[in-house]
Chains A and B, each alone.
Chain A
Amino acid sequence: MTPHPSPPPPAAARKILSCLKRYSEEYAGLGDLAEEYRQIALQRGKRRAALWYWGQVLFAVPSCLSFHLSSGGTMFGNTIKIALRNMQRHKFFAGVNIAGLSIGMTCCLLIFIYVRDELRHDDFFLHGDRIYRVLAESRESGRSGTELPAVMLDQMLTDIPEIELGVRLYDYGDCVIGNGDSRFVENRFEFTAPEFFEIYSIPTAIGDPGKSLAAPFSVVLTRKSADKYFPGINPVGQVLSLDNSHDFTVTGIVENPPLHSHLRFDFLASISSLRKMAPRIMEDWNYWFTNMYLRLPPGSNPRNLEARMEDFIIRHRGREFAGKVRHRLQPLQDIHLRSGNIDSDFSSSGDIAYVYGFSAIAVFVLLIACINFINLATARSSLRAREVGIRKVSGAHRSHILLRFMGESLITTGAALGLALVLTGLMLPVFNRLAGKSFRLDLLTDPALLMPAGLILLFVTILAGLYPGTRLSGYQPVQVLGGRIPAGRSGGKPGSTLFRKALVVFQFAVSIFLISATLLLTRQMTYMQRKDMGFQRERLVVIRNPADDNSRMLLRYKRFKAAAAQLAGVEGVSAASDVPPGGIGTALMFRKEEDSPQQALQLETVWVDTDYFDLIGADFLSGRNFSRGFETDRAAIVLNEAAVFALALEDPCSSRIALINSPDLHGVIGVVRDIHHESLRRQVKPVVFRLDPFRHAQNLVIRIKAQAMTDSMRRLEDLWADMAPEWPFQYEFMSQKYERLYRKESRMKGIVRIFTGLAIFIACLGLLGLASFSIARRSREIGVRKVLGASGLSIVRLLSWESVTLVFAANLLAWPATAYVSFLWLRNFAYRVGLDVWIFLISGGISIGIALLTIGFQAVRASRANPARILRCE
């Protein structure tokens, strides 16, 4: 060949060619084409050569593939053809199969996405497996809290060297942030130390994480806050005011905390500021307000540390205290899902029970979809018996036939999976809304999702294809071609029909369980929403009084009250330190007059204004309300029923109680009916109500008249703006508060409802397919009966009877399981509905009704058929 350097062939085409391994390596395709390319390039120019090259490569692609198919896959191609042909011929049954399977798979996929997200919470913490949150557990009540004294960490780091790192995080709560003249209400303002960034891995946009939270009165903004307060400019060096009292300098920006983080914040301020703002709280062992996270060295056992902490508590707070409070270490991964019994500012909405529950539902729904497939395929196997016989006679082995059938099952399942992916994509927005998440569509192409989808495909194919496949391939030609297939039942043992019936029963049992669950959930929710909380909830508005200073708060309240009470739309104004449903923030130890301090009990304490009970509409069971007229009322107290019970007071209105270590006695002047200060999940706690003007002005409570509510609200807003312009008007209706409270249950209800619908649908599909087939098989019998004089109705009854008994059996199966699970779930609620027989009867009735509807149409149609036409062909 001529000695100049050879021009290289087009790179892209060459790349494609090199992918066709067979041609390019075994047959030196790269070389041959390169040589000829060169020749053509020399003779006719590079352009022609490139064109030619591309042509050859592109042609080679399908040629190489068909090559693979024909040598390894002739059988596979044939299987596909036959499978598609079968599906076309029996569109109805194929449709039923694919629809059922794809719905089951969609359920599975959606739940898988949900569960994976829930389990992935907080996975971005650095060395997360060594991080623990410190809890304070009350030995008496079993409940835990996350708020602890700040000074505890300082002391712990000194006394316990096993702690590698400790970080405090204080959720400041609702506050007002000022930027220049504008004021905004925020509630995700946290105080923490620079060490925070060593455990919480979050990208820093501006500033040095090690230093930005060191100096007092520094604050780091999240990107969201930075954009809100200082859009477009670098906020470092700018100043924001906190509650109109303290100025903080911005020292950095971090990215927004990820969605699946139990910590949510918009501002991070330096905890060293607290030493200047309120020095006492950083040293006070009795002031419990900050969260604490510890990082332990690798290989350490948290139990050991818990034991050390117990010693620590005994040493610093005394044995008696240690007997009441125990500190536990909660692993980071448990925070999102297993914090049900923990009260915290960073409460999570996840619950491991839901994760288990939903996973179970997913498995069940998929299972019943597979059962459909199995049932239908088996039932119709008698149709293909002859085909199997002929194949065997032609030399096919049993394993071939089984494989072929599995291949067909794979194709059906594959089609169902494709449909399921599409359905999942469509359902995603609705699902997001229900579950309170935000999954994006591109999740569907995520390999982490496709892999389990592939596993589902494999699993369903094998599960749903194996049994019918084994049966089909087991047909003997002699049995099938020569003689007759045993009439009525499909080719075999009577046990097979029993098995199929059992499957249908199981399907319906699952559906009945879900129906009952939905009914129960709805009942419990309605009960909770309608229950009397001990006061009148309508038209109550709660306004938060900014907590700057006790005397200023009081003054603000008095002035506002005086002015607002004059408004036409306002029925009344009062205030209390804690209003429902927010729980009660203060608990103090009280003892009865005759008891010693050792017998003191912990009672929640709420400070109220004299007209509070009247305003909210609480009832007194005995005694009287506070009154301005009585000077002695300043020291008097009102108890709720639970407190009377806890203290075991026989004659409450003549009793006196005192604070644990104080000699001052307070007379009980009245007993008020229990007011639910928290969710109905919790028992009403014993409460002591007291008067103390300086402490009750935290929450203003206003009842407005029904007419022109928006107008009244606007006037109140104007009033506030006049009186306290530097504080934004922050209010919430009592009804809104309650809605928020039960959101988790609401969501659960929505989700269960959907899955119930789906399960019912699939079960009906199963019943439909089976019943249609069995009715079709009995068409001759029906014809004969009609000729012999049976009425249409009796035939319908005959045909439906079998299905009804199946559903009835399903009910019997479902009821015990339902009862047990319901019992477990209801135990979560201190106030709950009873498990009525009604629920079982209704779900039973619904299931039978659905079954009748499903097959009724078919049965009626069959009974109307003309006997002459049916009996003609024999």
Chain B
Amino acid sequence: MRDLTVLEQIILAAIISLEDDAYGVSIRRKVKKETGKSLMYGTLYKALDQLSRKAYVLKAGGTSTADRDGSRKIYYTVSPKGKSALSAAIRLHKAIWKIIPNLADDSKP
């Protein structure tokens, strides 16, 4: 089983934190706000597709509104499987940082 890429982790985290309101635009906004990364939609969708293939992320359709060009919104949630994959990734990070605890503080912000 392949590990989650960093991008995938960011996205999963964003979806979890957005609870019921995780869709394309909001995910992008969240990621931008929390990490400063400006995700291109192409990258986002590609990653979402990878995640949904592995059943880490579930899609659900919403209603369409006028300002969305007529097409419906698609909401994403993280599945239990996804949550455990993310936990494993966090554990990995913690393990890494434990070895070199001072690095994050030494580097300039």
Residue numbers of A with Cβ under 8 A of B are: 1, 5-6, 8-9, 14, 22-24, 26-36, 38-39, 56, 59-64, 67
Chain B residues near A27: list those with CB within 8 A.
Answer: 24, 45, 48-49, 74
Chain B residues near A64: list those with CB within 8 A.
Answer: 42, 45-46
Of the candidates B23, B43, B48, B68, the one whose C-beta lies within 8 Å of that of A34 is B68
Q: Is the CB of B45 within 8 A of A29?
A: yes
A23 to chain B, nearest CB (A): 5
A61 to B40, CA, bound (A): 12
A100 to chain B, nearest CB (A): 43
B108 to chain A, nearest CB (A): 31
B64 to chain A, nearest CB (A): 7
Q: Is B67 an interface residue (CB 8 A)?
A: yes
Q: Is B73 an interface residue (CB 8 A)?
A: yes
Chain B residues near A26: list those with CB within 8 A.
Answer: 49
Which of A32, A60, A61, A64 has its CB near the most chain B CB atoms (within 10 A)?
A: A32
Q: Is the CB of A1 within 8 A of B67?
A: yes
A153 to B11, CA, bound (A): 87
> Looking across the interface, which residue of chain B has its beta carbon closest to that of A32?
B24
Q: Is the CB of A22 within 8 A of B49?
A: yes
Q: Is B37 an interface residue (CB 8 A)?
A: no
Of the candidates B41, B69, B73, the one whose C-beta lies within 8 Å of that of A56 is B41
Q: Is the CB of A59 within 8 A of B72?
A: no
A34 to B69, CA, bound (A): 6
Q: Is the CB of A30 within 8 A of B28?
A: no
Chain A residues near B46: list those with CB within 8 A.
Answer: 63-64, 67
Q: Can you name 13 extra interface pairs (CB under 8 A) apart from A23-B45, A27-B45, A28-B23?
A: A6-B66, A26-B49, A28-B24, A28-B68, A30-B68, A31-B24, A34-B69, A35-B67, A35-B69, A60-B40, A61-B42, A63-B45, A67-B46
Given contacts A35-B25, A36-B28, contact A28 B73 (CB under 8 A): yes
> Looking across the interface, which residue of chain B has its beta carbon closest to that of A38?
B67
Q: Is the CB of B42 within 8 A of A31?
A: no
Residue numbers of B with Cβ under 8 A of A are: 23-25, 28, 40-43, 45-46, 48-49, 64-74
Of the candidates B42, B66, B71, the one whose C-beta lies within 8 Å of that of A60 is B42
Q: Is the CB of B68 within 8 A of A23?
A: no
Chain B residues near A9: list those with CB within 8 A.
Answer: 69
A63 to B67, CA, bound (A): 26
Which of B41, B69, B71, B74 has its CB near the most chain A CB atoms (within 10 A)?
A: B69
Q: Is the CB of A23 within 8 A of B42?
A: yes
A60 to B40, CA, bound (A): 8
A34 to B73, CA, bound (A): 11
Chain B residues near A28: list those with CB within 8 A.
Answer: 23-24, 68, 71-74
Q: Is the CB of B41 within 8 A of A60?
A: yes
B38 to chain A, nearest CB (A): 11
Given contacts A27-B24, A28-B24, A59-B40, contact A34 B67 (CB under 8 A): yes
B61 to chain A, nearest CB (A): 8
Q: Is the CB of A32 within 8 A of B40?
A: no
Chain A residues near B23: list those with CB within 8 A.
Answer: 28, 32
A34 to B43, CA, bound (A): 17
A36 to B39, CA, bound (A): 13
B11 to chain A, nearest CB (A): 13
Chain B residues near A38: list those with CB within 8 A.
Answer: 67
A38 to B68, CA, bound (A): 9
Q: Is the CB of A31 within 8 A of B71?
A: yes
Given contacts A6-B66, A27-B45, A31-B71, contact A36 B40 (CB under 8 A): no
Q: Is the CB of A32 within 8 A of B41?
A: yes
A546 to B43, CA, bound (A): 85
Chain B residues near A24: list those with CB within 8 A.
Answer: 71
A852 to B72, CA, bound (A): 74
A8 to B68, CA, bound (A): 10
Of the candidates B40, B41, B49, B73, the one whose C-beta lies within 8 Å of that of A67 is B49
Chain B residues near A56: list those with CB within 8 A.
Answer: 40-42
A26 to B74, CA, bound (A): 9
A30 to B23, CA, bound (A): 13
A38 to B69, CA, bound (A): 10
A62 to B41, CA, bound (A): 12
Q: Is the CB of A30 within 8 A of B42?
A: no
> Looking across the interface, which residue of chain B has its beta carbon closest to that of A33?
B41
A125 to chain B, nearest CB (A): 51
Chain B residues near A31: list those with CB within 8 A.
Answer: 24, 64, 68-74
A645 to chain B, nearest CB (A): 90
Rank and list the top 5 A-B pairs by shortest CB-CB distance, nearest first. Answer: A63-B42, A32-B24, A34-B69, A60-B42, A31-B68
Q: Is the CB of A6 within 8 A of B24?
A: no
A22 to B54, CA, bound (A): 17
Chain B residues near A36: list those with CB within 8 A.
Answer: 25, 28
Given contacts A23-B41, A59-B40, A60-B42, contact A29 B67 (CB under 8 A): no
Provide a sorted-by-A list of 29 A–B residue pairs whose CB atoms are within 8 angstroms: A1-B65, A1-B67, A5-B66, A6-B66, A8-B69, A23-B41, A23-B42, A27-B45, A28-B68, A28-B72, A29-B45, A30-B68, A30-B70, A31-B69, A31-B74, A32-B25, A32-B68, A32-B73, A35-B67, A36-B28, A56-B40, A59-B40, A59-B42, A63-B40, A63-B42, A64-B42, A64-B45, A64-B46, A67-B46
Of the candidates A30, A39, A60, A63, the one whose C-beta lies within 8 Å of that of B69 is A30
Chain A residues near B24: list those with CB within 8 A.
Answer: 27-29, 31-32
Which of A9, A23, A59 has its CB near the most chain B CB atoms (within 10 A)?
A: A23
A28 to B63, CA, bound (A): 12
Chain B residues near A22: list those with CB within 8 A.
Answer: 45, 49
Chain A residues near B66: list those with CB within 8 A.
Answer: 5-6
A438 to chain B, nearest CB (A): 49
> Looking across the interface, which residue of chain B has its beta carbon closest to that of A61?
B42
Chain A residues near B68: list those with CB within 8 A.
Answer: 28, 30-32, 34-35
A39 to B26, CA, bound (A): 12
> Looking across the interface, which residue of chain B has its beta carbon closest to that of A60?
B42
Chain B residues near A33: list those with CB within 8 A.
Answer: 41, 69
A31 to B67, CA, bound (A): 8
Q: Is the CB of B41 within 8 A of A59?
A: yes
A198 to B67, CA, bound (A): 60
Chain A residues near B48: list those with CB within 8 A.
Answer: 27
Chain A residues near B65: list those with CB within 8 A.
Answer: 1
A5 to B49, CA, bound (A): 32
A17 to chain B, nearest CB (A): 9
> Looking across the interface, which residue of chain B has its beta carbon closest to that of A37?
B69
Chain A residues near B40: list those with CB within 8 A.
Answer: 56, 59-60, 63
> Looking across the interface, which residue of chain B has its beta carbon closest to that of A23?
B45
Chain A residues near B73: list those with CB within 8 A.
Answer: 28, 31-32
Chain B residues near A39: list those with CB within 8 A.
Answer: 25
Chain A residues near B49: list those with CB within 8 A.
Answer: 22, 26-27, 67
Q: Is the CB of B74 within 8 A of A30?
A: no
A31 to B43, CA, bound (A): 16
> Looking across the interface, which residue of chain A has its beta carbon closest to that of B69?
A34
A24 to B48, CA, bound (A): 13
A63 to B64, CA, bound (A): 26
A60 to B65, CA, bound (A): 23
A83 to chain B, nearest CB (A): 27
A613 to B40, CA, bound (A): 95
B59 to chain A, nearest CB (A): 8
A74 to chain B, nearest CB (A): 13
Chain B residues near A30: list those with CB within 8 A.
Answer: 68-71
Chain A residues near B43: list those with CB within 8 A.
Answer: 59, 63
Chain B residues near A1: list those with CB within 8 A.
Answer: 65, 67
A36 to B49, CA, bound (A): 21
> Looking across the interface, which residue of chain A has its beta carbon closest to that of B61?
A28
> Looking across the interface, which residue of chain B has its beta carbon closest to that of A58?
B42
A11 to B65, CA, bound (A): 19
A71 to chain B, nearest CB (A): 8
Chain A residues near B42: list those with CB within 8 A.
Answer: 23, 56, 59-64
A33 to B68, CA, bound (A): 8
Chain A residues near B64: list those with CB within 8 A.
Answer: 31
B47 to chain A, nearest CB (A): 10
B2 to chain A, nearest CB (A): 13
Chain A residues near B45: list those with CB within 8 A.
Answer: 22-23, 27, 29, 60, 63-64
